Structure 1
Amino acid sequence: MKASLSRRLFRTILVIGLINVLVTLVAVDYVYEDVEDTILLRELALERDFLQAAITGPQPQSWQTAVLTATYLPAGASPDALPALFLHRSVPFSAEVQVGERTYLLSIERTATPPGVLYLAQDITLMESRETVLQVGLAAFAIAALALALLLARLGTRRIVAPLQELTRHIARIRPGTPFARLETHYREAELADIADMLNRLLAELDAYVQREKSLVSLASHELRTPVAVISGALDVLEQRDSLGAADRDTVARIRRAADEMRADVEALLKLARRADKDEQLEQVDLAAALKGLVEQQNCGTPAQRSRVHLRTAQPGPVVAADPALVRMLLRNLLQNALRHTRGAVRIDLGAHSLSIADEGEGLPDRVRKRLASPGDRHVPDDGLGLFIVRLICERLGWLLQIRRSDAGGTVLDLLFLPDATRSIQE
């Protein structure tokens, strides 16, 4: 299953937005932490220098402000007099400490003059609370940024894909069989305008090609019908003279049958060359009668093969709404292909909705089987037109051709009719 371009674009734009939000959050948090640490440590260093200069002698001293608690303990003095905040701390010591609901930044270092230990505790509770507010704000920003990224991804995808969808709708309106409508080239995007322009050039060439093909079909129709009409007219003259012997009359009858088949084949091929018309007039074709007539004609034309064909038809036989010329050409090609490429018996079974032709040959070549299994293949084969024409007629009639078996024991071809295109003779 192919991936949707709009989905890929949506995911790409959304991922880019998410990456931008993530990078922004990490950068803001890093900068804030760095600024906070720099300010606090710098302030604490300045306070230590100030207090160390304020020490007057080798006796304990304490200082207290709104956010600073400091104690000097001379060397050798008992630490029991220290505030609980400083008890049992190693020297030196520097870290954030949580005491109840308050947060302190502790710094404990030795002094040289006079010798001792200076204990500092800066209350940073307010700053920590502001950091919590900042984190909540960043979370709200992240949610808003994600929602905005989602919205921009959807809008951006629609804006990018909309011209492509419009171009697709224009292409979908093109219908074979009529002069191809040219695409509009008013797109603001240069790439899409170039695509539409190239497609218009292709459509112009296709129009010219189709017109040449139609002219060729009309010319072939005239050129092929004329010699067939001449042959039929000459046969009429011979029969009117009534000067032929029995053997000659049989020969003339065979020539007339061949001419009639040629005329029917020409008409059928010309119909295949033209596009199917929805208003095409169809006739009721009795498949059982058509097969019987085809087998009798085959037996008369080649008496040596009279015993090879075995026909079995359903009672009552099916009647289909189709073009009689195409149906006769289809059945004749199936039968002649089986007789021409095998030496054994050919069995034809006609059911209510299917026709099976089984031979006793060596099976169809792989290239033929692949060609029959590929309905979209329009390449004209160079190894015979029989089954190629059969497939084209089946596509035109809306019937299904299947290879049930093709091996050393022979080939079985099944022709399946549409259920709603058949009815029994009794109806």
Structure 2
Amino acid sequence: MPHGLPRKIRIAFILQMVMASLAIVVAFYVVAILFKYSFIQNTLQEEAQHYWQLYDASPAQPPPNTYNLRGYLVEAGYSSLSLPPDLRELRPGFHDLEQQGQLVWVDRRQAGTLYLVFLRSQATRMALWFAVLPAMLTLLAIYGATWLTYRSSQRLVSPVAWLARQVGRWDPRRPDVTELAPELLPADVQGEARQLAQALHGLGERVQAHIARERNFTRHASHELRTPLTVIRMASDVMLAGDELPPRVARGLQRIQRAGRDMEAVVDAFLILAREPDVAPQSEWFQVCEVVHQEADNARLLLGDKPVVVEVDCLQQPMLYAPPRVLHVVLGNLLRNACHYTDRGRVRVTVDETQVVVSDTGIGMTPEILASAFEPFFRGVPERPHGTGLGLAIVRRLCERFGWRVELESVQDAGTTASIHFAPVRGDTQQVPGAVPPA
């Protein structure tokens, strides 16, 4: 986990130490400079004032001459040639003679001029003891406190990091929650981390149970739903084989067969949607126009006596690699909608190399209705009794499942156009469910 919580905490502590170190180094550097130029200057001023007090009491008082401080006095009316050459031209005030390694305070009074010289080496040594050494000790104290805080934080975060690693190894489709069982949790996983682990363990078990139920339902539903449909189809085939069936009965049996085939297609489509996306459905190459003609025949029967004509225009003869019943469901829903909402005129299905277009001259849709047309249970014209509002939602889900793109265009009182764009095969021989072969 390259960007996990422990790494972020480690980076935060490192940045904290670096920033604190820089701040302390800069602060003590400033302190060292101030020590040299402010503390030493004040010290020399006080030494000069103290000397003049002693001089007023006794003019024979010699200038200061110690290990750190040297003093020179030029009394009024006397030449400054007795001074070292570097001090002769100095005016009253503080001077930093860097080349000579001296800090000089010149104090002029009526009795004469006093020169106090402090060696820079002594000032540097004192700054080391009073500024740099405390800075080093402070830095060491900060490093030690930061390290202890980091180790404590690492111990607090380690259960969460362990839990994140366990969850990160889960397969979303088959989460293995064994390691999060309460009896298998490490001893350091306590408090909120233990509660979270137990909650995830319970959630994972529920997900596993849900996946198992879904798989069992898909497996059993595939068998249980197909069995009665097969019986209905076979029974209708036997009845249609008779020689003396009245035309009305024959038409009814044919409608039963078509409804049974439609129901089988819907069951197959629902089972495909219920499976995992990475489970490839059973696909085959088939002629798109054959499916279009079959669904157009069903739509003509649905129209009854309506003054509406269903036309099929196959500009090309494309092949499609997919479950044929899926395209039956998609086209069947689009054609049923077109027939339900077209009171007169025509419904046309146009097929070319990569798409199927269903257009009608029906009542059309407003922009507001068109924006919600694919939502489940949405019905643009509730007063019309046809449908439950699931047809277009199923169409979109099936198209997304096979990489198709479905589009709707509509003008109110002028009609609606629905387009299904198929995905091309990637490569020369690769068979991708839902794709058409390359041109």
> Residues 101-156 of structure 1, C-alpha deviation per residue, up to 9 Å, x if partnerless?
4432315265xxxx73552322332135558989xx89xx8xx99xx99xx9xx99
1:260 equivalent to 2:261? Answer: yes
Contact residue 177 and residue 201 of structure 2 kept, 8 A: yes
For 2:179, the equivalent position in structure 1 comes to 184
Q: 1:87 to 1:65 in 2, by over 3 A?
A: farther
Partners of 2:4 and 2:405 in 1: CA distance: 33
For 2:393, the equivalent position in structure 1 comes to 388
Question: Which one of 84, 87, 103 corresponds to residue 85 of structure 1?
Answer: 87
AA paired with 2:164?
L
Segment drifting more, 411-420 vs 163-172:
163-172
For 2:289, the equivalent position in structure 1 comes to 288
Contact residue 41 and residue 105 of structure 2 kept, 8 A: no
Partners of 1:311 and 1:6 in 2: CA distance: 65
Partners of 2:420 and 2:335 in 1: CA distance: 12
Segment drifting more, 182-191 vs 162-171:
162-171
Task: Give the Å deviation of 1:169.
Answer: 6.9
1:103 equivalent to 2:99? Answer: no
For 2:246, the equivalent position in structure 1 comes to 245
Contact residue 86 and residue 119 of structure 1 kept, 8 A: no
AA paired with 1:184?
E
Unaligned runs of at least 5 residues, structure 1: 373-378
Q: 1:206 to 1:292 in 2, by over 3 A?
A: same
Q: 1:80 to 1:229 in 2, by over 3 A?
A: same
Task: Give the Å deviation of 1:320.
Answer: 1.3
For 1:376, the equivalent position in structure 2 comes to none
Task: Give the Å deviation of 1:322.
Answer: 1.0
- Scaled by the length of structure 1, the TM-score of the pair is 0.71
Partners of 1:348 and 1:301 in 2: CA distance: 16
1:197 equivalent to 2:198? Answer: yes
Pairwise mapping of residues 282-321 of structure 1 onto structure 2 (< 5 A)? 282-304=283-305, 307-315=308-316, 317-321=317-321
Partners of 1:189 and 1:109 in 2: CA distance: 77
Task: Give the Å deviation of 1:204.
Answer: 0.9
Counterpart secondary structure, 1:275: coil
Counterpart secondary structure, 2:103: strand
Contact residue 299 and residue 306 of structure 1 kept, 8 A: no
Counterpart secondary structure, 2:115: strand
Q: 1:370 to 1:30 in 2, by over 3 A?
A: farther
Q: How many residues align?
A: 395
Contact residue 183 and residue 196 of structure 1 kept, 8 A: no
Task: Give the Å deviation of 1:268.
Answer: 2.8
Contact residue 166 and residue 179 of structure 2 kept, 8 A: no
Percent identity over paired residues: 23
Pairwise mapping of residues 136-285 of structure 1 onto structure 2 (< 5 A)? 164=161, 167=164, 170-176=167-173, 178=174, 180-182=175-177, 184-185=179-180, 186=185, 188=188, 190=190, 192-217=193-218, 220-221=221-222, 224-225=225-226, 227-229=228-230, 231-232=232-233, 235-236=236-237, 238-239=239-240, 242-275=243-276, 278=279, 280-285=281-286
Partners of 1:371 and 1:4 in 2: CA distance: 43
> Residues 205-233 of structure 1, C-alpha deviation per residue, up to 9 Å, x if partnerless?
12222333445445655664455455446
Q: 1:199 to 1:229 in 2, by over 3 A?
A: same
Counterpart secondary structure, 1:127: helix
Pairwise mapping of residues 27-46 of structure 1 onto structure 2 (< 5 A)? 27-29=27-29, 32=32, 38=39, 41-42=42-43, 45-46=46-47
Partners of 1:366 and 1:72 in 2: CA distance: 103
Question: Which one of 409, 419, 422 corresponds to residue 424 of structure 2?
Answer: 419
AA paired with 2:71?
T
Question: Which one of 358, 361, 364 corresponds to residue 362 of structure 1?
Answer: 364
Q: 1:127 to 1:215 in 2, by over 3 A?
A: same
For 2:118, the equivalent position in structure 1 comes to 123
> Residues 185-204 of structure 1, C-alpha deviation per residue, up to 9 Å, x if partnerless?
45645455544432221111
Partners of 1:166 and 1:280 in 2: CA distance: 36
For 1:375, the equivalent position in structure 2 comes to none
Contact residue 233 and residue 257 of structure 2 kept, 8 A: yes
AA paired with 1:335?
L
For 2:72, the equivalent position in structure 1 comes to 70
Unaligned runs of at least 5 residues, structure 2: 380-388, 426-431
- Scaled by the length of structure 2, the TM-score of the pair is 0.70
